[in-house]
Structure 1
Amino acid sequence: MSFQTVLRPRSVVPWPARLAARLAVAAAKPLTHLSPERVRRLLALLARGARPAGFAQVATARDAVTTVSLVCAGREGCLQRSLATALLCRARGVWPTWCVGIRTAPPFAAHAWVQADGRMVGEGVPEGYFRVLFSVPPHDTREATDGRRGRG
């Protein structure tokens, strides 16, 4: 029998944030079974109208998600972790850039992560370690609508 050990200090996350993180983790689980295209389209819809998330906001959301879920805290939980982090950010009115990519150095491996302010959040790898295949950036429709009104 084998098991995965996650060695990291337990964060102090207030119970309301823990509850929200648990809900985000639960909502993210069924999304992990969808095709990449369906996930991308769904997240693009969810990102509409959200403000871009700051690095600290995304780091706080990711920390809450990894605190309440051992799957998300583990090495193999990148997809559910990134989805749950994005959903938790969206519940707070902001959106990170959700990314899917591959490792640039052998061996080949796919990975999903979130970014904010142009930086990967909580991954602990150098810049350029992953190559983005596709992403879902924040898309604030209010700004686009306001811009169109000003032209007319």
Structure 2
Amino acid sequence: MTTPSAIERPHGVPFRHRVAARAVLLPAVLLSLLPPRRLRTVLRVLRRGAAPADEVRARQARDAMCAVSLRCAGPKGCLPRSLGAALVCRLHGSWPTWCTGVRVVAPFTAHAWIEVAGHPVDEGVPDDYFARLIVVAPVPGAGRR
């Protein structure tokens, strides 16, 4: 899977965010090895009871993953990066919409990303740049009491 352009590692990520990202880095890499069907099943279980993530939390999670891992910050690290960001959000009781899909313009490439309110988080592309193939969205009404 690829991303439209290389990503620069963010600076100034708070220590507690980097600790959370390091904690989920290995699980995110291991999840990235699963076949798509099993990955979707695992993510659906993990999202249970989580409130929808807001854009600030999702951006912080994504930045933290890029700050702690060269692999996640690289142009081919979209799958572990997006999985790790979703897991960091889950540690804080929320869940972004996790997506994987393909570019709608040539050349064909696969990509994985997180979204909030239907907008990709820090991807630098328009909302309709990718066609979604697998989507694991927050459960409506979850996390509210």
Q: Percent identity?
A: 46
After the TM superposition, which residues 3-152 of structure 1 pair with which residues of structure 2 at under 5 Å, given as runs? 8=8, 10-139=10-139, 142=142
Distance 2:89 2:122 in 1: 15
CA 1:143–1:64: 2 relative to 1, 3 Å: closer
1:13-43 deviation line (CA, Å, top 9, x unaligned): 2222211111111210111111001110000
**For the aligned residues, what is the CA RMSD?**
1.9
Give the structure with higher Rg (CA).
1
Distance 2:143 2:61 in 1: 25
Aligned length: 140
Judging by fraction of residues, say which structure has more helix.
1
Distance 1:9 1:46 in 2: 27
Q: Which has the higher contact order (CA 8 A, sep 6+)?
A: 2
Q: Which runs of 5+ in 2 are unaligned?
A: 1-5
SS of the residue corresponding to residue 48 of structure 1 reads coil
SS of the residue corresponding to residue 101 of structure 2 reads strand
Q: Is the 1:99–1:134 Cα contact (8 Å) retained in structure 2?
A: yes
The two structures have a TM-score, normalised by structure 2, of 0.89
